[in-house]
Chain A
Amino acid sequence: MQRETWINLAILLGLILVPLWAVVMDEPFTITLTTKVVILALAGVGLNIALGYGGLVSFGHAAFFGVGGYAMGVLASHAQSYTPMQIGALEVEGTKSMLIIWAVAIVFSGITALFIGALSLRTSGVYFIMITLAFGQMLYYFAISWPAYGGEDGLSIYVRNGFPGLNTLDPIQFYCICFVLLCAALLVSARLSSSSFGLALHGARQNAERLEAVGVRPFKLRLTAFVISGMITGLAGALFADLNRFVSPTMFSWHTSGEIMIFVILGGVGRLFGPVVGAALFILLEHWLGGISDFWQFYLGLILLAVVLFARGGVIGTLAGREVAHD
């Protein structure tokens, strides 16, 4: 097996052992922290498909994270207030079922990604970055001025949504749900990367002109990747909202887009487990450095600078070496 596979397995093992240890030691906060890592890693796995595989530097992935979050917030708030949603002449009940909320989050973030992607993928480079950023900010300001769902103050959901057969208020059970979803997303990401579609997508990143010369149009390919990427990040948004039992416009803000991007860059752009390592490192640094200094983000910036300058492949790249051409 390649070294990267061993590293990936070690990371997975860590994500199993740390919460187990926390259960044994009765440290619910550690479980919550690990849950946060897993959810943010999921958002990063989504972005990694666009950024890492497709080379699409999206600075607007908070849009999908937020859409997922608000899908949960809107549905759950109607369910907790027992008031149906009024969509035209249609009355739609809210729901506290995670499964339905995830489906809605995935579908809506997919549609949003299709719309944003169809417009922004006609540009490239810095224009693509700016357009995706602009879309993210549009949704941010929309959410701020949406009084029905809390406007600037956001929306609190009092009880975590339900999952058949599990008590989601128990931290370890909610963690297990998130962990399984992360593993599923990693599996999708891995298969996608090595598939014919993935080969063409990686090819489009390296040399779009060559791809066209062998009969493939990069636009459709990138749009598909962008939508899949948005859907995964949207699912992460729904879980994140459920973790905090709170949604606010911050989920849409460019800070969030930047953070998701940091997970990917820190861990290793285009590496399967890059976003997982990145998210873990980010949360650990936020936790530890945050305890030492109020200016922890300054030190995070220094670390990010060091990674970009001296470890171009991120943490995984440094540990595993140059990416081996996979089959």
Chain B
Amino acid sequence: MTDTVLSVTNLSKFFGALKASDNVNIDLHAGEIHALIGPNGAGKSTLIKQIAGGMRPDKGEVILNGQDISALDTAARARLGLARSFQVSSVAAEFTVLQNVVLAVQGHQNLGMWRAALRKTAFSDQALGFIARAGLAGREAIRASDLSHGERRRLELAMALALRPKVFLLDEPMAGVGLEGSADMTALLDDLRHEAPILLVEHDMDAVFSLADRISVLVYGRIIATGAVDDIRNDLEVQRAYLGDDA
């Protein structure tokens, strides 16, 4: 049996009559990239938000390595290794790349009030390692607000790495990075899966098909299919839902 690292069971979230998540079941195995695709408004980001702890589901459970984390808040889940990137990249804009990553490195430690954070070599060295791993070596001293869009995406991944992740929740990491950036990012994600399994929300289908081990398709808050890449590609229901009736 494969090791299940993350499992989401019977998760539901309703906004009035709108079913944002409708009895969603999804799991993530060690070492895999599980892509979550679906048309705009299908509820992908809402689902990620509920898994990360930013939004409470109406019912259902989120289990991380056998532990029910449904009642924990975002910070507690992050400390357990649930590392996320946001749909619109979210970093501390006035901070440099290094400061951002040190912020993540020190996140789950006791926050001292006297010694300068960046002078703690343990913090800085670790942070520099994550920055290099995310492909931002040499950009440590650049302010986050001065980074290109693609670089900011990488910075988010460096911060996610700094959490010693058990699971990556990545919400559209390819969005807006351009063609060349997308190829680089694909290679980076392929590397990151060795660190921790990835639940990947992505619109870039080339990336999804080349990276994913499994794909789940979310439509109107409901998972209509889960399976290997080829199965999903040939699934008629998926084609109808995703590409329209003329598919």
Contacts and interface: CB of A to CB of B under 8 A. Distances in A.
Contacts of B93: 206-207
DSSP class of A's interface residues: helix, strand, loop or mixed? helix
A179 B29 CA distance: 62
Contacts of B104: 214
B73 A199 contact: no
Nearest to B77: A215
A213 B94 contact: no
Interface residues of A, number: 26
Interface stretch (A38-46, A59-67, A189-197): A189-197
B9 interface: no
B90 A194 contact: no
A203 interface: yes
Contact of B94 (A198, A211, A215, A323): A323
Interface string A308-327: 00000000000000010101
Contacts of B108: 214-215
Number of chain B interface residues as a range? 35 or more
Interface string B188-205: 000000000000000000
Given A213-B74, A216-B75, A217-B73, A199 B114 contact: no
Contact of A199 (B86, B90, B99, B163): B99
Pick from B79, B103, B106, B108 the residue with the most CB of A within 10 Å.
Answer: B103
A36 interface: no
Given A202-B95, A325-B96, A191 B114 contact: yes
A196 B93 CA distance: 17
A209 B163 contact: no
B112 A213 contact: no
Nearest to B159: A214
Nearest to A192: B113
Contact of A207 (B76, B92, B120): B92
Contact of B162 (A207, A214, A327): A214
Interface in B60-113: 73-76, 78-79, 83-84, 86, 90-96, 99, 102-104, 106-109, 111-113
B94 to A, nearest CB: 6
Contacts of A200: 103, 106-107, 111
A87 to B, nearest CB: 33
A199 B117 contact: yes
Nearest to B142: A325
Given A196-B111, A200-B106, A213 B95 contact: no
Contacts of A327: 116, 118-119
Contacts of A323: 94
Which among A197, A200, A210 has the highest number of chain B CB atoms within 10 Å?
A: A210
Interface string B110-136: 011111111110010000000000000
A27 interface: no
Contact of B103 (A195, A209, A214, A325): A214
Contact of A213 (B78, B99, B114, B117): B78
B78 A212 contact: yes
Contacts of B90: 207, 209-210, 213
B73 A215 contact: no
B84 to A, nearest CB: 6
Contact of B112 (A195, A211, A217): A195
Contacts of A207: 90-93
Interface of B: 52, 54, 73-76, 78-79, 83-84, 86, 90-96, 99, 102-104, 106-109, 111-120, 123, 141, 143, 159, 162-163
Q: Which 7 A-B pairs have the closest CB atoms?
A: A214-B107, A215-B78, A215-B107, A214-B104, A215-B79, A212-B74, A206-B92
